[in-house]
Structure 1
Amino acid sequence: MRFHFKAMLGAMAALALAVPAQAADLKLALSSSPSAMDPQFHNLGANLNVAQNMFDTLVRMDADSRLMPWLAESWRVIDDRTWEFRLRKDVRFHDGTKLTADDVIWSLDRPATLVNSPAGFGIYTRSIATKTAVDATTLRITTNGPYPLLLSDLSVIYILNRKATEGLAAEDFARGKGMVGTGPYRFVSFQRDDRVELARNDTAWGTGPAWDHVSVRFIPNNASRLAALLSGDVDAIEGVPTADLAQVKANPKLVYAQKVSGRLVYFYVDSGRADTPQVTARDGGKLAKNPLADERVRRAMSMAINREAIADRVMAGLGYPTNNLVPETLFGYDPTLTVVKFDPEGAKRLLAEAGYPDGFALTIHGPNDRLVNDAQIVQAVAQMLTRIGIAAKVETIPMASYASRGAKGEFSFGLIGFGSQTGESSSILRAIIACQNPKSGGGLYNWSHYCNPQVDDYLTRALATVDDQARLDLLRKAAHLAVTTEAIIPLHFQATTWAARKGIAIEPRTDERTFAASFRPVP
């Protein structure tokens, strides 16, 4: 998607939702369990996959990451700092109360008040200066300055029922309190690391949900998840294992869908701390300084990775090597950032030049249930680094634990993925590249602890620029400087595959989200 600010001014669109021929039940298997049920507590893909079934946002990204009206049926720009939103008048919460502008204001205020969030949603509300209810279904928002990404930011914030959630802590939601949304399905029950049970919302706005009941199961093991589909234990799954794609495609009882995502799969490299926890000398002794703080070391590590081999052998053709932050279909892509050439001999020379002719030792961390073949990627890169003198050990763990520990700074070098939530590169720049700043919300996922004031300057200016070309130039400058100074080590964009039993249609998404509305029964 190419996001153009001017094209979105006063945007309105007719909303067309699929109408099922008849209702049925859906048993859906996901790869990761949520770390929290509070839809505003932890900005994590596994959490969003669950929340999207029960909660709505003012604006939504469609399957191709294009903005569309949702709870807000229309909006207009009054001046360069003031926006007015009109809410749909036919929307009710699951408890029967009507959605009002006061609920929206509460929902936009709340993220900044949540404590102990490992990565919250406050970054998406910090641009807002004031919020005013003009009437029950009209909301006026002013921003701190010209801000072209307000609509995109609002597509990330779930709207809650103020009466049902005021005074609740994040952990209360896991017990069913506050689970009162406007989405197509109502909360029934939650068993941590096992499943979420949902029921059809009979008062849902629009044309209503496709399913009577939805059971969302969490099955981290790829083989077990596919086996559940093949046995009929579940009706649909995400993350079809690459090794089993041919089997799925050839099975007449199954259907599948595939899409290249906007999720960047990359390695964070702890360059910002003088002492990093998972790096030692080869004999296990303490090093005088953090070698990852040296740009030459980070570049050597990048040059040691054979991205083409990973794409072909580990990803079975479902990885698309890159040195960019976003794919070429998204605003902010920089065509001058070409894929880093595999050069192990050059990498060895850089290590020696940096003062590490004999290398050092480190532990590579990564999830084992979130990205396509994530554990295998980590193993492959460990072998590649070993060949240039870096003795690499591997530790992969479930994503929920990985996200929590990573946010606490427990790791030095590891695999992770991040997709643009705004449809352009500013989202990923703010989250994983910008200097860590609790006040501004920058660097929430900056596990590299990288900080370059010039990159932040380019980004800050881009976020306040409404001219498309000027903003594009600034975003490209920020990305180019960050990537060429090895803020992170980009690897590839992944293609994601979903599968279901015959009789179910699948809508694949570039953001890789998987929820009940992604599936509908067909004759």
Structure 2
Amino acid sequence: MKRLIKTIFIAASLFISACTPTQKTDEAVNHTIRIGTEQFTASLDSALEWNGWFTVRYGIGETLFKVEDDMQIKPWLVSNAENIDTKTWKLTLRENIKFSDGTTMDAKSVVDNLHHIAQENARAAFLQGAEYEIDGYTITIKTIEPRSTLLSDLSDPMFAILNLASKEDKATMPIGTGPYKVKTFTADQEIVLEPNTNYWDGTPKLNEITVTKMLEKETAILALKNHELDAYTEMNPEGIKQLQDSDEFDIHTIPSSRVYSLYMNTQTLTDISLRKAIAKAIDKEAIAKYLLDGTMTATDGPFTNDSEYALPSSNVTSYNEAEAKQILESAGYVDTDGDGYVEKDGQNISLTIAYYKRLSQEAIATELQSALKKIGIQSELQLHEGTKYLLNKEYDLGFYSMVTMPTGDPAYYLNALLSEGGTVNYSGYDNHAMQVLLKQLNDSYDTKERKEIVKQIEEMLLASYSITYIGFNNLIFATRKELKNFVPHVTDYYQITVDLELQS
């Protein structure tokens, strides 16, 4: 998914001293909240990289289309969409929408955003060269290539519509159409939000919202118990156990499409037999049930098990330690010196397992090292601050977590993962037949045909053992019972909405 921003440590003493307890006065109870979160951003400029996730999460920006709970796409800043032909769409904007500075959002401001985003973000390259016609509040978009997924694409948070004419710095003070606007922003640390009095779709109910980065879950749990936090967005099993029986808190859990994936560097792990053995050595069900206490749902593929795009049950990457050992032996990986680890052609095999601290990746990485030892593969854990090790190919096995259906359509992820120059093609996957299938998928407007193409792509991908999927992270929020409508969404980026409120 996505670029994860450089993390910093916020000591418990600093956080607690900075907090104003939310239970001190009636005004605080009714109008202000504090939210703790593990993931934060250095910039709110939604057009760049993955920053838009935060601009939308914080209720600052909105997109032309929105992903519903059932992964269907619905209009948001538009009122209607019409497909003219394979390259042409006609969008009708909602009228009377204003940016938070009072400026009207019109068709020209939207087109300016689309031009800008196409130039600034590689994931929006499909809009480069597109032609736009404006007629009042109607925009006709004609793309260079057929784009059956355009409406889904435009629900990506990078397409949050901002007032580009504003003199405010988009990185720290973006002017959007959402229910809240930025009051103060400290990169990688904290944001304070206040109501957008020009909001078009209801009245924001809170006077102030503070979102603070908190890496230490123990600190977050303590802050919740001490009434110094109203919500925390990345609960772990230990924290859940502490809060779930309390009458002060609600625990909100939903399965997400954020998958723990293990990239295999095909430039260093050139032997597919070795990659296959590694995949077979991972007991995903045990990780989900015992290691992570049900906070992960095991998977063999990139799409959730209840998705219409999920592959039927298969043995492609199912756990089988004995088979993993047999694969290694048949491929010439044997322990000749009796040290418990295999060699190939007299050379020791030692792999690097690279990961960054995000959700349960550290625990899974440690379990992977143990699993590899059981089949005779020596490995070393390497903790990184971010994900540049993937881009720079500084790994043998590299962990990454990403939402695979952020816009409700599988083409988004599959293109990013498998196309030549794809934004998350970190394994170095290169296959001409795959490029042909991707083009067929991108060009097709037939639902049944698209499902069949996706199935072929998944089967080809898994057979390459360039990546293996561990499981889907379950999104788990803890909130004080007084806080209403702050719940996780399957996409992982709709959080602060106009419905958020405190009730006594």
Fold shared by both chains (TM-score > 0.5): yes
- The alpha-carbon deviation at position 436 of structure 1 amounts to 3.2
Match of 1:13 in 2: none
Residue type of the alignment partner of 2:285: E
Does structure 1 conserve the Cα–Cα contact (< 8 Å) formed by 2:276 and 2:465? yes
Note the alpha carbon deviations across 1:164-216, whole angstroms, 9 max, x for none.
Answer: 27xx9xxx54444xx11111111122212320111110111111323221111
Is it true that 1:478 corresponds to 2:473 in the alignment? no
Is it true that 1:446 corresponds to 2:452 in the alignment? no
- How far apart in 1 are the matches of 2:280 and 2:210? 45
1:49-64 correspondence to structure 2 within 5 Å? 49-52=54-57, 53-64=59-70
1:210 and 1:356, CA in 2 relative to 1: closer, same or farther beyond 3 A?
farther
1:394-405 correspondence to structure 2 within 5 Å? 394-397=381-384, 401-405=385-389
Does structure 2 conserve the Cα–Cα contact (< 8 Å) formed by 1:325 and 1:425? no
Is it true that 1:324 corresponds to 2:301 in the alignment? yes
- How far apart in 1 are the matches of 2:40 and 2:490? 20
* Partner SS state of residue 164, structure 1: coil
- The alpha-carbon deviation at position 308 of structure 1 amounts to 1.6
Which is further off, 375-384 or 188-197?
Answer: 188-197
Is it true that 1:259 corresponds to 2:240 in the alignment? no
Match of 2:488 in 1: 508
- How far apart in 2 are the matches of 1:339 and 1:243? 33
Which is further off, 348-357 or 252-261?
Answer: 348-357
- How far apart in 2 are the matches of 1:365 and 1:210? 43
| From 335, 346, 351, the counterpart of 1:362 | 351
Residue type of the alignment partner of 2:414: L
Does structure 2 conserve the Cα–Cα contact (< 8 Å) formed by 1:131 and 1:139? no
| From 32, 45, 53, the counterpart of 1:48 | 53
Is it true that 1:381 corresponds to 2:365 in the alignment? no
Residue type of the alignment partner of 1:340: T
Is it true that 1:312 corresponds to 2:289 in the alignment? yes
1:190 and 1:328, CA in 2 relative to 1: closer, same or farther beyond 3 A?
same
* Partner SS state of residue 54, structure 1: coil
1:35 and 1:269, CA in 2 relative to 1: closer, same or farther beyond 3 A?
farther
Is it true that 1:81 corresponds to 2:87 in the alignment? yes
- How far apart in 2 are the matches of 1:123 and 1:174? 19
- How far apart in 1 are the matches of 2:179 and 2:131? 27
Does structure 2 conserve the Cα–Cα contact (< 8 Å) formed by 1:435 and 1:453? no
Match of 1:285 in 2: none
Does structure 1 conserve the Cα–Cα contact (< 8 Å) formed by 2:355 and 2:399? yes
**How does the TM-score come out when normalised to structure 1?**
0.82
Match of 2:180 in 1: 185
- How far apart in 2 are the matches of 1:519 and 1:408? 41
Does structure 2 conserve the Cα–Cα contact (< 8 Å) formed by 1:307 and 1:321? yes
Match of 2:476 in 1: 497
Is it true that 1:425 corresponds to 2:410 in the alignment? yes
Is it true that 1:411 corresponds to 2:395 in the alignment? yes
Does structure 2 conserve the Cα–Cα contact (< 8 Å) formed by 1:418 and 1:428? no
- The alpha-carbon deviation at position 392 of structure 1 amounts to 1.6
Residue type of the alignment partner of 1:521: L
Is it true that 1:134 corresponds to 2:134 in the alignment? yes
- How far apart in 2 are the matches of 1:61 and 1:377? 30
- How far apart in 1 are the matches of 2:64 and 2:143? 16
* Partner SS state of residue 130, structure 2: strand
- How far apart in 1 are the matches of 2:265 and 2:228? 43
Residue type of the alignment partner of 1:486: Y
* Partner SS state of residue 414, structure 1: strand
Does structure 1 conserve the Cα–Cα contact (< 8 Å) formed by 2:162 and 2:176? yes
- How far apart in 2 are the matches of 1:461 and 1:154? 20
* Partner SS state of residue 509, structure 1: coil
- Unmatched runs of 5 consecutive residues or more in structure 1: 1-21, 115-119, 274-289, 438-442
Does structure 2 conserve the Cα–Cα contact (< 8 Å) formed by 1:124 and 1:154? no
- How far apart in 2 are the matches of 1:514 and 1:150? 20
- The alpha-carbon deviation at position 352 of structure 1 amounts to 3.4
1:70 and 1:202, CA in 2 relative to 1: closer, same or farther beyond 3 A?
same
- How far apart in 1 are the matches of 2:488 and 2:472? 15
**How does the TM-score come out when normalised to structure 2?**
0.85
Does structure 2 conserve the Cα–Cα contact (< 8 Å) formed by 1:64 and 1:509? no
RMSD over aligned Cα atoms: 2.2
* Partner SS state of residue 99, structure 1: coil
- How far apart in 2 are the matches of 1:175 and 1:132? 30
Residue type of the alignment partner of 1:457: V
Does structure 1 conserve the Cα–Cα contact (< 8 Å) formed by 2:369 and 2:380? yes
Match of 1:164 in 2: 166
- The alpha-carbon deviation at position 268 of structure 1 amounts to 0.7
Note the alpha carbon deviations across 1:104-155, whole angstroms, 9 max, x for none.
Answer: 11211223433xxxxx4x3345056534242342111112344221110000
- How far apart in 1 are the matches of 2:49 and 2:264? 23
* Partner SS state of residue 250, structure 1: coil
Does structure 2 conserve the Cα–Cα contact (< 8 Å) formed by 1:30 and 1:238? yes
Residue type of the alignment partner of 2:488: P
Residue type of the alignment partner of 1:396: L
Does structure 2 conserve the Cα–Cα contact (< 8 Å) formed by 1:238 and 1:499? yes
- How far apart in 2 are the matches of 1:410 and 1:38? 28
Which is further off, 180-189 or 423-432?
Answer: 423-432
Is it true that 1:297 corresponds to 2:279 in the alignment? no
- The alpha-carbon deviation at position 336 of structure 1 amounts to 4.8
1:192 and 1:485, CA in 2 relative to 1: closer, same or farther beyond 3 A?
same
Is it true that 1:342 corresponds to 2:319 in the alignment? yes
Is it true that 1:25 corresponds to 2:27 in the alignment? no
- How far apart in 1 are the matches of 2:30 and 2:97? 21
Task: Count residues in correspondence.
Answer: 458
- The alpha-carbon deviation at position 87 of structure 1 amounts to 1.1
- The alpha-carbon deviation at position 83 of structure 1 amounts to 1.2
Does structure 2 conserve the Cα–Cα contact (< 8 Å) formed by 1:36 and 1:42? no
- How far apart in 1 are the matches of 2:500 and 2:332? 55
- How far apart in 2 are the matches of 1:354 and 1:102? 61
Does structure 2 conserve the Cα–Cα contact (< 8 Å) formed by 1:31 and 1:218? yes
1:64 and 1:30, CA in 2 relative to 1: closer, same or farther beyond 3 A?
farther
Does structure 1 conserve the Cα–Cα contact (< 8 Å) formed by 2:45 and 2:172? no
Note the alpha carbon deviations across 1:407-459, whole angstroms, 9 max, x for none.
Answer: 33333312111221222322221122x1432xxxxx20111111122122112
1:239-278 correspondence to structure 2 within 5 Å? 239-271=234-266, 273=267
| From 105, 116, 119, the counterpart of 1:113 | 119
1:36 and 1:107, CA in 2 relative to 1: closer, same or farther beyond 3 A?
same
- Unmatched runs of 5 consecutive residues or more in structure 2: 1-28, 335-341, 344-348
Match of 2:41 in 1: 34
Does structure 2 conserve the Cα–Cα contact (< 8 Å) formed by 1:58 and 1:70? yes
- How far apart in 2 are the matches of 1:337 and 1:431? 24
Does structure 2 conserve the Cα–Cα contact (< 8 Å) formed by 1:50 and 1:515? no
* Partner SS state of residue 126, structure 1: helix
1:377 and 1:404, CA in 2 relative to 1: closer, same or farther beyond 3 A?
same
Which is further off, 356-365 or 472-481?
Answer: 356-365
Does structure 1 conserve the Cα–Cα contact (< 8 Å) formed by 2:300 and 2:318? no
Residue type of the alignment partner of 2:409: E
1:452 and 1:145, CA in 2 relative to 1: closer, same or farther beyond 3 A?
same
